[in-house]
């Protein structure tokens, strides 16, 4: 038996009518009736489903199952159930939609490796994974997607070409695959990879999520099914995962891909037929997203400097353990180039601009430092203080962080002090700009970091006068200036956490990290008051009393916040000794005043 052409033509007409309702007519649905076209399409498809169900039962009852007709009917019914399920879910009737998608899978399971069955099968799996994820059933969703992944690989290995729904409306003896089915299958599998990335992310498996993200991006590039700006932003975002894993080669590769795609897009983004407003909108979007890619490059450089610094600070035994850990992780990953590279893009020129190796010397670090500043300048050109204060503030903080890292690699103490001064200046300029009422979190960060910058300058100044038995008044003045600036910033930080200026009671609801930083701030202030240099006993007495006050507050707060203070063993030991020593010193100074 062969399905008559006129019957297939009727089916085709119904399917095309439903497609037009969903893809075109729905765009003009009024806000008061947003699902109007989808409801009409659902009715059309329900009619088609009823006819296909009846015909399938008729064929099976006549014991003609197993032939081309039955497979053709099952496939058309599978496509219909898939699209109906999608519509039910869209109009928020999820239970009915889920049932229809499962019916599609039941129909297609025995035929999922055939040209007629592969597309409705993978399509239904994708839709069902979204339903499962909405119920936070991520494990079930990823298991389902992995089945589709395996089915796709096996189908591709067979050399067959997938049939689109339009191909099925030809009589079975005239069935001929078009490129439409192949393209639809590739797009569905790209979506499958994307959904797997999301599910693995929810399941706390970031490496698998990153691999699926890369595969999604790679396939978008391969099949030219991407929006340039979205592709660049997603690729740059993925680079941040690799940066966090200290996999700088992979991070650099993704950032280079984002950069070259944006550069290519810039050349062709403005079309002659665009209005001036459209051109302005496209240009604005490009500048915005290019600035975001620039910030990702800056983060790359900052983390490269930071991890390089941390490696140099570790002793040999710690470094050996770290290397073993990294080697074990690399062996476990067993990455192929395809897992993180875009072979179709020539990224050599961009990748050569910045190293992916750890910095060992000041010259290494200086190249990375200048690279960071170049990209921060690009970001700053877009994010202005007047319009994007929060983002502008983050960029200024990144400039300050770059100076912190480069100062570590500088061997000349005087140059170190200059770099720390520049670091503090960025933050102090930001504090002059921001209102703490509106930007308290950022101001707190700036107060604390500016305080540590001036404390670092103080230590450099003190080291410089250690060898000198009688420092000059100018040297003493510079030491005290650094001291007082650091105290000022730390005290501003501390006051921001007090219930009021008249009490030392801390605000309720502080988490452990906030408490810990508050403890550090008290410790720093106590230490700084002790470092102030004065020849006048009265001033010495005031400074020592302030030192004692802050050390006592530190000690009392540590007793109250046992959990938060666990990491402060060294500081607690120092303060205990000082609390015994300070009263003796204070009494000595008092006797001199008598």
pLDDT at 542: 94
Arithmetic mean of pLDDT, 368-374: 98
> What is the CATH code of the structural domain delimited by 1-199?
1.25.40
What would the 3-class secondary structure string for 519-588 be? HHHHHHHHHHHHHCCCCCHHHHHHHHHHHHHHHHHHHHHHHHCCCHHHHCHHHHHHHHHHHHHHHHHHHH
The confidence band for 502, taking pLDDT boundaries of 50, 70 and 90, is confident
The confidence band for 177, taking pLDDT boundaries of 50, 70 and 90, is low
Among 375-379, 497-501, 581-585, the range of highest mean pLDDT: 375-379
* Residue 449, pLDDT above cutoff 80: yes
Burial of 61 (0-12, 13-18, 19+ CB in 10 A): exposed
How remote is the C-alpha of 279 from its chain's centroid?
A: 29
Instruction: Give 275-334 pLDDT, tens digit per residue.
Output: 999 999 999 999 999 999 999 999 999 999 999 999 999 876 666 666 666 555 555 555
pLDDT at 318: 65
pLDDT at 504: 84
The structure tokens 């790209």 sit at 190
Residue 490 structure tokens: 């730390």
The Cα–Cα gap between 290 and 383 comes to 11
The Cα–Cα gap between 519 and 570 comes to 13
* Residue 160, pLDDT above cutoff 70: yes
- The residues, any chain, with a CB within 8 Å of residue 274's CB and separated by 6 or more, are 282
Q: Which residue has the higher pLDDT, 9 or 582?
A: 582
* Mean pLDDT (the chain, rounded): 92
The structure tokens 């703490």 sit at 436
Helical residues (DSSP H) of 467-536, grouped into ranges: 473-495, 512-531
User: From residue 63, how far is each of 66, 78, 267 by CA, in Å?
Assistant: 9, 21, 62
10 forms bridges with which residues in the sheet? none
What whole-number percentage of the chain has pLDDT above 90? 81
Give phi and psi for 287, each to the nearest 5.
-60, -40
pLDDT at 327: 59
* Residue 31, pLDDT above cutoff 70: yes
- The residues, any chain, with a CB within 8 Å of residue 386's CB and separated by 6 or more, are none
* Residue 577, pLDDT above cutoff 90: yes
pLDDT at 334: 55
Instruction: Give 88-102 pLDDT, tens digit per residue.
Output: 999 999 999 999 999
Question: Rounded to two decimals, what is the model's pTM?
Answer: 0.89
Using CA atoms of 170, 176, 178, 183 in order, give the dihedral in degrees to the nearest 10: 100
Residue 340 · residue 253 · CB < 8 Å: yes
* Residue 175, pLDDT above cutoff 60: no
The confidence band for 70, taking pLDDT boundaries of 50, 70 and 90, is confident
Arithmetic mean of pLDDT, 448-469: 92
The Cα–Cα gap between 594 and 585 comes to 15
pLDDT at 592: 84
The structure tokens 């020129």 sit at 349
What whole-number percentage of the chain has pLDDT above 70? 93
pLDDT at 328: 58
User: From residue 378, how far is each of 341, 401, 587 by CA, in Å?
Assistant: 26, 17, 58
Nearest to 451 by CA among 540, 372, 523, 555: 523
Greatest Cα pair distance, the chain, in angstroms, is 120
Arithmetic mean of pLDDT, 121-132: 97
Arithmetic mean of pLDDT, 236-252: 96
Arithmetic mean of pLDDT, 437-461: 96
pLDDT at 414: 94
Sign of CA dihedral 362, 364, 367, 372: negative
The confidence band for 24, taking pLDDT boundaries of 50, 70 and 90, is very high
User: What stretches of 227-305 adopt beta strand conformation (E)?
Assistant: none
pLDDT at 424: 98
Question: Can you tell me whether residue 137 is helix, strand or coil?
Answer: coil
The Cα–Cα gap between 422 and 406 comes to 11
The Cα–Cα gap between 456 and 431 comes to 19
């Amino acid at each position: 038996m062969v399905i008559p052409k006129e019957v297939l033509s009727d089916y085709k007409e119904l399917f095309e009518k439903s497609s037009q309702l969903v893809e075109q007519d729905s765009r003009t649905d009024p806000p008061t009736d947003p699902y109007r076209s989808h409801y009409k399409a659902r009715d059309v498809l329900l009619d088609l489903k009823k006819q296909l169900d009846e015909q399938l039962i008729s064929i099976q009852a006549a014991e003609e199952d197993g032939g081309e007709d039955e497979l053709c009917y099952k496939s058309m019914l599978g496509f219909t159930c898939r699209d109906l399920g999608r519509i039910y879910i869209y109009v928020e009737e999820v239970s009915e939609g889920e049932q229809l998608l499962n019916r599609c899978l039941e129909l297609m399971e025995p035929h999922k490796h055939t040209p007629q069955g592969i597309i409705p099968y993978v399509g239904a799996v994708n839709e069902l994974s979204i339903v499962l994820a909405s119920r936070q059933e991520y494990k079930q969703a990823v298991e389902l997607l992995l089945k589709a992944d395996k089915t796709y690989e096996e189908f591709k290995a067979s050399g067959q070409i997938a049939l689109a729904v339009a191909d099925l409306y030809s009589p079975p003896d005239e069935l001929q695959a078009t490129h439409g089915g192949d393209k639809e299958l590739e797009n569905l599998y790209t979506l499958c990879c994307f959904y797997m990335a999301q599910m693995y992310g929810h399941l706390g498996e970031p490496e698998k999520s990153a691999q699926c993200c890369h595969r999604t991006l790679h396939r978008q590039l391969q099949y030219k099914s991407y929006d340039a700006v979205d592709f660049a932003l997603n690729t740059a975002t993925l680079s941040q995962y690799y940066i966090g894993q200290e996999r700088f080669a992979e991070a650099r590769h993704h950032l280079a891909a984002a950069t070259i795609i944006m550069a290519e897009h810039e050349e062709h983004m403005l079309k002659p037929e665009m209005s001036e407003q459209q051109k302005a909108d496209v240009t604005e979007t490009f500048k915005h997203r290019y600035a975001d890619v620039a910030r990702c490059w800056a983060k790359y450089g900052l983390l490269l400097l930071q991890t390089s610094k941390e490696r140099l600070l570790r002793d040999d035994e710690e470094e050996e353990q770290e290397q073993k850990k990294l080697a074990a992780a690399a062996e476990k990953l067993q990455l192929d180039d395809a897992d993180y590279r875009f072979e179709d893009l020539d990224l050599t020129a961009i990748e050569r601009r910045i190293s992916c190796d750890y910095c060992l010397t000041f010259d290494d670090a200086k190249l990375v430092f200048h690279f960071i500043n170049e990209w921060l300048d690009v970001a700053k050109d877009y994010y202005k203080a007047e319009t994007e204060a929060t983002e502008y503030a983050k960029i200024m903080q990144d400039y300050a962080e770059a100076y912190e890292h480069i100062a570590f690699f500088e061997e000349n103490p005087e140059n170190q002090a200059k770099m720390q001064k520049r670091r503090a200046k960025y933050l102090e300029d930001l504090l002059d700009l921001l209102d703490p009422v509106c930007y308290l979190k950022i101001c707190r960060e700036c107060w604390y970091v500016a305080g540590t910058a001036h404390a670092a300058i103080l230590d450099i100044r003190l080291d410089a006068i250690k060898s000198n038995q009688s420092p000059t008044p100018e040297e003493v003045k510079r030491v005290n200036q650094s001291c007082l600036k650091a105290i000022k910033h730390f005290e501003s930080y501390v006051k921001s956490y007090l219930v009021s200026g008249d009490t030392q009671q801390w605000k309720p609801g502080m988490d452990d990290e906030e408490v810990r930083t508050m403890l550090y701030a008290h410790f720093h202030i106590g230490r700084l008051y002790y470092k102030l240099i004065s020849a006048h006993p009265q001033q010495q007495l005031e400074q020592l009393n302030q030192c004692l006050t802050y050390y006592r507050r530190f000690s009392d707060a540590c007793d109250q916040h046992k959990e938060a203070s666990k990491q402060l063993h060294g500081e607690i030991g120092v303060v205990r000794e000082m609390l015994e020593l300070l009263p003796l010193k204070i009494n000595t100074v008092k006797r001199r005043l008598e």
